[in-house]
Structure 1
Amino acid sequence: MKEFFQMMRRFVSPYKKYLGWAVLLNLLSAVFNIFSFTLLIPILQILFKIDQRTYSFIPWGSDMGMKDIAINNFYYSVSRMIEIHGASGTLLFLGLFLAFMTMLKTSCYFASSAVMIPLRTGVVRDIRIMVYSKVMRLPLRFFSEERKGDIIARMSGDVGEVENSITSSLDMLIKNPILIVMYFGTLLVTSWQLTLFTLLVVPGMGWVMGKVGKKLKRQSLEAQGKWSDTMTQLEETLGGLRIIKAFIAEQKMIDRFTQCSNELRDATNRVATRQALAHPMSEFLGTLLIVLVLWFGGSLILGEHSSIDAPTFIFYMVILYSVINPLKEFSKAGYNIPRGLASMERVDKILKAENPIKEIADPKVLDNLNDKIEMKNISFSYDGTRQVLKDINITIPKGKTIALVGQSGSGKSTLVDLLPRYHDIQEGEILIDGINIKELRIANLRSLIGNVNQEAILFNDSFFNNIAFGVENATMEQVIAAAKIANAHDFIMETEKGYDTNIGDRGGKLSGGQRQRVSIARAILKNPPILILDEATSALDTESERLVQEALERLMKTRTTIAIAHRLSTIKNADEICVLYEGEIVERGKHDELLAKNGYYKRLNDMQSLA
């Protein structure tokens, strides 16, 4: 329960007013319920003509106890009603009053449940937004170590489990303790001997319930882990359908998913079976409690010096039976909460993940690139062991183009990822106009940089919204101008709705060249002073490459550019070409100078010429 209350402190604070109303309404519901059941005693006495005593009114300020005065004056009022209206009329009046009190009780019960709905839905919404916001702020390295399907499962299945188990239990944890305290207080006032006996029996039953629910959290963690595996396989399948079909691996993937689904089913069965045990066990233990109290109370009544009469004992049993249901609900919450806490533990792996990309307290702001970019003595490793980059030194004057070439895995993409601080370097520094990028506001730094990647990353939205992505208040005229520069306007206008046409998931309705030109249009509209081109034409056919290359040349004209290229023909005109091999710059110079050196660059060029 300690973990539960810690979670409540984190997420329920904005909704304290709902908790206050819930407590008040549940308190009123319990009071009205007790008063309605109190009417059973005079009703039974009238029906069975048990009490033949004569009552007289006792002033409220007399020396008798308040409880005795209240009981005496209540019976006095009932006896007066019988004298005036008769026993039948009094029964009708008491019955109507019982119905009225029940109406008040049920109204308060409904209101107490309704007032908790905004809290439940609000807490779950807040958790979802917090997880999504944290995902947006975590570095790219976090997602290379985590499975996307697992993250999706935590945002969907786990957050849903928090809603189903923890927040739904919150209502029970507010209502049931109030009912239990009020009912036990009434039982204590009615007969302390019977209540003492009850209190001696209840803890043993609670211990039995606790033993059954002990393993539930661990089993729930296992079940949620299997759910994550299932979501991961689904995400991988949707992303790799083309390859699965090409290699005729449909049955293999079906078998793999079937095995995962069976493991999920088995884990879920274990959790559900243990949870299903809660109701019958609490029902049996509650009945056992009633039987024991019935035996003990009956023994008291049958004794010569009984402190309780038969109608009062029946009232006592009614209240005791009423307290059984809150106890059962309380035990049900004890089963539900561990499941939710197991899910919350998985969600917290995202919420509490450390972001190593820190921003200083008082960052500087740059409006433009005025002089140059400098990379000084840069070394970098992902895991702290094998160095991906070793002692890199590059200077990029404003308006110049620097090209990075080399075999796959030589560190080209890692190097350009350091400039927008997707990763932070361990040694050396990167300067823009003499200012270390770690001294700049991250949003400001990234606003200076535009990206065109090998795989055009587009969204399931219209052409307009994809091109205007990240640019506030972009007009249609600006979007069209950017599309024309990127050689994208003509094919966009050929679609049914023009710039309002939806391009499908990841731009799936477009060809590779079209996707790339939309991506370039997006970079043109952003109008950044620094441009990063990560193999932007490597996956295109000759015609598409020509159109994209034309668009890129227009985009690069007035910008400082870092271009990663496998096709050396696309970077012949670069101001400087840096050749990387195993994380080090082994050659640098212009295209013709590097060919003349007859080194690594010459070998790459010859291999592509032969190809």
Structure 2
Amino acid sequence: MRNPNGRMSPTEIKKQLAQSDTTAIEMLRFVFGSVLKRRGLVILNVFLLTLMAVLNFVVPQFTKNIIDHALPNSQQQALYTNVIGLLIVTIFLGVVSFASTYMMQMLSQRAITELRIKTYRFILKEDYAFFQDAKTGDLMVRLTSDIGNLQMLISSNTFGIIGNIFTFVGVLIFLFIQNWQLALMVSITFPILFVTIRFFRGHIREAYSNVRYAQSKINNQLQATLTEIELIKAYTTENAETTKFESIAEESNGYSLEATKWQAIFQPLVTLINTIGTAIVLLFGSLLVMNKAMTIGDLVAYLAYVAMLQDPIRSFSMLMNVFQTAQVSYDRIKNILSYEPKILEPTTPQPFPNPLQQHIQLSNVTFDYEMGSDHALNDVSMTIPAGKTTALVGRSGSGKSTIIKLLTRFYDRSKGDILFDNIDIRTFQISDLRQHISVVSQDVTIVDGTIADNIMYGSNNTNEEAIWQAAKRADIADFIAKQPNQLATQVGERGLKLSGGQKQRLSIARALLKDAPIVILDEATAALDNESEKTIQHALDNLMVAKTAIVIAHRLSTVHKADQIIVMNDGQVAETGTHDSLLQKQGIYKRLYDAQFE
């Protein structure tokens, strides 16, 4: 399994590049897979590119005819005919070029859109562990810039190389027929170009890999800064964060200059080699003209054809840069798409028992977050009866939240069994399991949209009356009614326009509308003051009516009424009972209770 965070050092990038030359064909198959689904348009575009090559070949002949025939013989009719022919062919060439470019852009946009959607869907389908390893800023770069780099492969310039190949082969044969000695001398520059391109290929690719690495670090820093702005302001760490960003920006600048250096050397060197070819034609062609072995028109046409030979080479050199950048981006996208999820769907899924008739049961469950680490849960067994309220209490790190993550299959246990009405949790479709569970946690997630968007989130019920009913039961209907736009009121990014209690009530309304048979309250009131807690507790009571409820709470005053209280300690079940029976045991629960009410 590959780590999806993408934060490789330049040394690691070099090792990866040394192994990734074999992925070029794989990348082309990956990128052009969508394009080839539209074979009719591709074939038509290849035909247009071939036609463009033929038209480009014809153009110099008009100039040759004018210089060699029309001018020496003062034939005005021939002059007019060749000029008009030149204009007609050039206009037709422009029309064909437009059709080809537009068609290629259409294919490119469709292919890249499909690729971006495919990658986005893949990322969202990944399990919880994937997002613990990945960096948000880096994922954003891969979905935007990296896929944008792949789009440059599917462009009119890329497909134009097909026409350029036809042009190159046809023109080279023509030049050898015209004057094989001169053509042979010009051809000497081609191996020099090949060696030059080969040499610069690795350096340019490595440079662009480092640039992508630096861009990911910048995006990660920006994302972290913007999401932690309240902490930064509260602790006045603006200068420290700016210093950190300056360091990353300077690193990025260094890598960008390195890439620019190689590009700046490469392009003029290619131009110099091409100019040497032109100089050879000018020198020896002029001597041939002086010796009457070639006409001036032949020389001018020959120079035009040599330029046509050089254009494909220039295009190939530019395409090489695009190819190198795209291959770096492909390696990064492939790195994500090759991630192997740990939470797997069952091959023959069982329907989730709705409603739950008996219980949720954990039998000898052991779990650790990383191999070789201490167990987060160690041989845990418990029974959570259906239709009752079970509270999980204990010190921080005792394993309460880990149990919730196992029940929702964010993780799979290492050993033991988790059963819903005696059916193994792994036999349910993950979506089916989670659709039957509502979670209200301390860290409320508010989507950037309206109040209605937040209440309806994850629910198929979009009926306005049902939304208002859920809002009333969550004790937030009065607040909504006072807003100018009521349910259409914008809440701001991360709910910045709402108080903590309002966010919590919105999340409760969301759970009420979902109406799942199992409700999990994970420290749902921990961040609230006593007065807000009492207000929201009524909404929570409404949420738990006729549900199988699991409540995690540090404030033991909130679990008095629970049908069952399970006390966790160091990843194990220490005590089980009701509030009164546990107080009588004079054990861990009694000590925790006394510590809170001393």
TM-score computed with the length of structure 2 as normaliser: 0.91
Q: By how many angstroms is 1:272 displaced?
A: 2.4
Pick the aligned partner of 1:545 from 521, 533, 547.
533
Pick the aligned partner of 2:206 from 218, 232, 240.
218
C-alpha separation between the residues in 2 aligned to 1:27 and 1:21?
A: 10
Q: Does residue 589 of structure 2 align to residue 566 of structure 1?
A: no
**Which sits farther off after the overlay, 4-13 or 286-295?**
4-13
Pick the aligned partner of 2:215 from 215, 224, 227.
227
Structure 1 portions without partners, runs of 5+ = 51-85
Q: By how many angstroms is 1:183 displaced?
A: 2.6
C-alpha separation between the residues in 2 aligned to 1:457 and 1:371?
A: 32
**Which sits farther off after the overlay, 153-162 or 110-119?**
153-162
Q: Does residue 420 of structure 2 align to residue 432 of structure 1?
A: yes
Q: Does residue 9 of structure 2 align to residue 21 of structure 1?
A: no
Partner of 2:27: 7
Specify the code of the residue in structure 2 equivalent to 1:340.
Answer: A
User: How many residues are treated as equivalent by the alignment?
Assistant: 573
Q: Does residue 369 of structure 2 align to residue 382 of structure 1?
A: yes
The answer on whether the counterparts of 1:166 and 1:337 sit within 8 Å (CA) in structure 2 is no
C-alpha separation between the residues in 1 aligned to 2:369 and 2:163?
A: 52
Q: By how many angstroms is 1:300 displaced?
A: 5.5
C-alpha separation between the residues in 2 aligned to 1:89 and 1:47?
A: 8
**Which sits farther off after the overlay, 25-34 or 267-276?**
267-276
C-alpha separation between the residues in 2 aligned to 1:240 and 1:495?
A: 29
Q: By how many angstroms is 1:440 displaced?
A: 1.2
C-alpha separation between the residues in 2 aligned to 1:326 and 1:561?
A: 70
1:559-598 Cα deviation digits (max 9, x unpaired)? 0011111111111111221111221111221111211221
Q: By how many angstroms is 1:497 displaced?
A: 0.6
1:526-551 Cα deviation digits (max 9, x unpaired)? 11011111100000112211121111
Partner of 1:66: none
C-alpha separation between the residues in 1 aligned to 2:344 and 2:451?
A: 35
Q: Does residue 293 of structure 2 align to residue 311 of structure 1?
A: no
1:416-461 Cα deviation digits (max 9, x unpaired)? 1111211112211211122111111111111111110111111011
The answer on whether the counterparts of 2:35 and 2:108 sit within 8 Å (CA) in structure 1 is no
Pick the aligned partner of 1:352 from 326, 338, 362.
338
Specify the code of the residue in structure 2 equivalent to 1:381.
Answer: D
Identity of aligned residues (%): 33
Specify the code of the residue in structure 1 equivalent to 2:271.
Answer: E
Q: Does residue 127 of structure 2 align to residue 139 of structure 1?
A: yes
C-alpha separation between the residues in 2 aligned to 1:375 and 1:173?
A: 63
The answer on whether the counterparts of 2:360 and 2:385 sit within 8 Å (CA) in structure 1 is yes
C-alpha separation between the residues in 1 aligned to 2:532 and 2:163?
A: 67
Runs of 4 or more, structure 1, over 6 Å off, are none
The answer on whether the counterparts of 1:278 and 1:332 sit within 8 Å (CA) in structure 2 is no
C-alpha separation between the residues in 2 aligned to 1:175 and 1:609?
A: 83
* Greater gyration radius: 1
C-alpha separation between the residues in 2 aligned to 1:174 and 1:476?
A: 58
Structure 2 portions without partners, runs of 5+ = 1-20
**SS of 1:115's equivalent?**
helix
Distance change (3 Å), C-alpha of 1:364 and 1:168: farther
C-alpha separation between the residues in 2 aligned to 1:168 and 1:246?
A: 52
Q: Does residue 493 of structure 2 align to residue 485 of structure 1?
A: no
**SS of 1:110's equivalent?**
helix
TM-score computed with the length of structure 1 as normaliser: 0.89
Q: Does residue 596 of structure 2 align to residue 608 of structure 1?
A: yes
Q: By how many angstroms is 1:491 displaced?
A: 0.8
Q: By how many angstroms is 1:105 displaced?
A: 1.7
Q: By how many angstroms is 1:473 displaced?
A: 4.4
Q: Does residue 355 of structure 2 align to residue 332 of structure 1?
A: no
1:239-283 Cα deviation digits (max 9, x unpaired)? 212221221211111111111111111111211232233432222
C-alpha separation between the residues in 2 aligned to 1:443 and 1:493?
A: 34
C-alpha separation between the residues in 2 aligned to 1:372 and 1:467?
A: 29
C-alpha separation between the residues in 1 aligned to 2:196 and 2:556?
A: 74
Alignment of 1:432-581 (within 5 A): 432-581=420-569
C-alpha separation between the residues in 1 aligned to 2:509 and 2:176?
A: 78
Q: By how many angstroms is 1:349 displaced?
A: 2.0
Distance change (3 Å), C-alpha of 1:488 and 1:192: same
C-alpha separation between the residues in 2 aligned to 1:201 and 1:412?
A: 72
Specify the code of the residue in structure 1 equivalent to 2:344.
Answer: K
**Which sits farther off after the overlay, 464-473 or 493-502?**
464-473
Distance change (3 Å), C-alpha of 1:217 and 1:168: farther
**SS of 1:116's equivalent?**
helix
